[in-house]
Structure 1
Amino acid sequence: MDAFKLMKELRLNYEQEVYYLPKETGLALIESAVEGDRRISAKCRDAKVEDLWSLTSFFGYSTQTFVLAVNLLDRFLAMMRIQPKHLSCVSLSCLHMAAKVTEEECDLTPTDELIRIGQCRFTVSDLSRMEKIVAEKLDFKAKAVTALTFLQLYHRIALWHSSDRKQTLSLEKLEAQLKACLCRISFSKAKPSVLALSLLRQEIEAIRSQDMLEIACQIQRHLKIADGELRQWSERVARCLSDYASPECSKPDHRKLQWVVSRRTAQNLHSHRSVPELPTIPEACWDENDSEDSCVDMLSSGEESLSSSLGSDAGGTFFPMHLRRQEHRQYLHA
């Protein structure tokens, strides 16, 4: 694809991104939830996204599958009022929907195995009904414009125009850092185009390529992204990646999901196949004036969190131990 077609595709996606953003009012309600509330909190949401990262890596799914699943999850949670005990069914439904769009059919994990490995206490029928609800509420038509959409386009544009072939711009590293950001609900409020450009400039700062910095500036001008908006999210990205790499941040266990093959766990997981059918799933939308009893009461579950072991790309050289924040800010405005 030549440069003109790349820029045209970039503009088309930029015009479409607004249709795939979670509702800000819904995100605000999630962020305002406190412990003990019968609704999803930011901490609960973030832990479930980490679970999706673990499962995505375990099943060998692509970054595109993970990012699309998170996009569907955030949009649904920002629209529908559900209880924490129902979150596993919603999140796994989003992952399965995303995988059916982005993965080859031969690579799809069978639904019963997805539920079993995810240690979820609901049935294939429950998952199928939930997928239909999510698809209907989001008017899902097998596509979404996400930060990964822009990250991949930016990467291709940068490589096309760059004359400095000695500098390498790692898309794999950028994708891993995007995953880390998406594990925090605050980044769900960022425009995908701006979040992706913030990550791109973060990496450009790391490799110190003046040539690519100018390309990033051209992209910013082409999309008419305000300096203040880009600066705000660039600083948040730098802070997120710095926090993620700090010794205080719990590091993922790179032996991820090895507990799945233990005999005791296998016996426990096998018993999940006999879960009885549950009542029909009623629905309700977000309304901060509603009583707690109006929450969607979809099914009863007792899932454990997988978030103690993220994907295989959740660490290492993709997250340097010390990000030079001051130099980062100076370089962005050089």
Structure 2
Amino acid sequence: MKFAQPWGRQRLSFLLEKAASREAQTWRGYVAKKQTSQDADVSPAQRDEAVRWLTELHGRLQLYPETLVLAVSILDRFLAPIKVRPKYLRCIAVACFFLAAKTCEEDECVPSLKELAASSNCGCSPSEILRMERLILDKLDWDLHTATALDFLHIFHATVTASHSGFLDSAGLNRSQHLCLLTRRLYTCLADHALMQLRGSVLALALVSLDLETCCPDWLALTIDLLRKAQMDSSALIRSRELVSRSLSTPRASLPPNTVYIYHPLQLAAPARRRPLGTMETSRDQPAPPQAGEESKAPPPSPKRLSHLHKAPLRCKASAKRKVEQMDVDDFYDGIKRLYNEDATSAVHEGAPPAGGGAYSGGSSPCPPLQPVGAS
């Protein structure tokens, strides 16, 4: 079918109008239920886990994408008005999946109830699935036909590719591959309860618009055209784009339950005190490093110190090493002590002039002495 022909576009407009009318009749806004300590209802996280479980089951059975999307729609419509205990959630989910398979699949492709119960590992018997299936049908008034987000996704995708199919060439995909990519993203969005408040049409248009933004220069004009044809509010589309973008960018890949963590400690000899490379640590209690002509007077290092130097050698440039060796550390500390007048007592005992001598001499502090306030 060539959608570029005028009658093809008219067909697409008719399908879009029919799907929007059906959605307006069946869609109900999602209202988050308040969880209490005594509440035994299914939580949003448990609902998302059930949808991911159905997605895995759908992949193993290799059924149509319409089957999975309709099963999630039936599940949400059933869970919205009533309270369900979490232990019955898998039985409800597999019953919704069985109803969707009988609605969308060919008769020869529909799995038998016994096969479905065994392959899904839902923990319930075929008779229990049949009873749950009857309960779901009674609750939904035997009305399973509804316009899903996948229906709108097909319509929007066909409308865009009918008029602007060149952007697929730049992406290196044909129509089927591009639609398959969007469908996979829709599966991810269905497993996020934060997107249940969006209509299926708005969710589909947000997915198409976000994808067009990455590969088509005229994405804004195409989005506005689809928005006008679907008769949607632009503010709702902007909000849905933010929610969908956040949902698709959130990683949900979890580790398998049999994951084994192996700890490999680092075999490194850490020194007692960390200091920058190229520097040497000195203090008042430790002797200063020997000068150039005093190597013979220095005591031999201990075996412990030698082993430490062997494990972690000091790496520094030759110029920095020569500067460290030539620096007079004793004069450096003596200058600091004289600056803060910490060795006034030791200076007097050594025969130096007192701090109040007035004139600067080689053995006194380089700063002028402090005088009392009243002194002239």
Q: TM-score, normalised by structure 1?
A: 0.69
Number of the residue aligned with 2:22: 16
Quote the Cα distance in structure 2 between the aligned partners of 1:53 and 1:35: 30
Quote the Cα distance in structure 2 between the aligned partners of 1:35 and 1:117: 35
CA-to-aligned-CA distance 1:36-79 (integer Å, 9 cap, x gap): 73110011111001000000001111211110000000010002
The answer to whether the 8 Å contact 1:150/1:193 transfers is yes
Please state if 1:241 is matched with 2:243. Answer: no
Number of the residue aligned with 1:232: 239
Identify unmatched segments of 5+ residues in structure 1.
254-334
Distance 1:89 1:35, change over 3 A: farther
Structure 1 outlier segments of 4+, above 3 Å = 34-37
Distance 1:148 1:34, change over 3 A: farther
Q: C-alpha displacement at 1:23, in angstroms?
A: 4.7
Number of the residue aligned with 1:73: 75
Q: C-alpha displacement at 1:123, in angstroms?
A: 1.7
Number of the residue aligned with 2:12: 6
Distance 1:218 1:93, change over 3 A: same
Please state if 1:172 is matched with 2:180. Answer: yes
Quote the Cα distance in structure 1 between the aligned partners of 2:17 and 2:183: 21
Q: C-alpha displacement at 1:198, in angstroms?
A: 0.3
Number of the residue aligned with 2:149: 147
* 1:1-334 equivalent positions in 2, closer than 5 A: 2-25=8-31, 28-29=32-33, 32-33=34-35, 37-162=39-164, 164=166, 166-167=169-170, 168=173, 170-207=178-215, 209-244=216-251, 249-251=252-254
Equivalent pairs counted in the alignment come to 244
- Identity across the alignment (%): 29
The answer to whether the 8 Å contact 1:17/1:145 transfers is yes
Q: TM-score, normalised by structure 2?
A: 0.61
What is the identity, as a one-letter code, of the residue corresponding to 1:83? R
Decide which structure has greater helix share: 1
What is the identity, as a one-letter code, of the residue corresponding to 1:20? T
Q: C-alpha displacement at 1:215, in angstroms?
A: 2.5
Identify unmatched segments of 5+ residues in structure 2.
257-376
SS of alignment partner, residue 68 of structure 1: helix
Quote the Cα distance in structure 2 between the aligned partners of 1:16 and 1:24: 17
The answer to whether the 8 Å contact 1:161/1:215 transfers is no
Number of the residue aligned with 2:361: none
Q: C-alpha displacement at 1:103, in angstroms?
A: 1.1
The answer to whether the 8 Å contact 1:204/1:212 transfers is yes
Number of the residue aligned with 1:311: none
What is the identity, as a one-letter code, of the residue corresponding to 1:180? T
SS of alignment partner, residue 64 of structure 1: helix
Q: C-alpha displacement at 1:252, in angstroms?
A: 7.8
Q: C-alpha displacement at 1:177, in angstroms?
A: 0.4
SS of alignment partner, residue 210 of structure 1: coil
Bigger Rg, which one: 2
Distance 1:192 1:118, change over 3 A: same
The answer to whether the 8 Å contact 1:164/1:211 transfers is no
Q: C-alpha displacement at 1:163, in angstroms?
A: 5.3
Q: C-alpha displacement at 1:33, in angstroms?
A: 2.4
Quote the Cα distance in structure 1 between the aligned partners of 2:255 and 2:114: 26
Quote the Cα distance in structure 2 between the aligned partners of 1:20 and 1:252: 38
The answer to whether the 8 Å contact 1:154/1:200 transfers is yes
Instruction: Report 1 or 2 for greater relative contact order, CA contacts < 8 Å, sequence distance ≥ 6.
Output: 1
What is the identity, as a one-letter code, of the residue corresponding to 2:229? H
Q: C-alpha displacement at 1:216, in angstroms?
A: 2.4
The answer to whether the 8 Å contact 2:51/2:72 transfers is yes
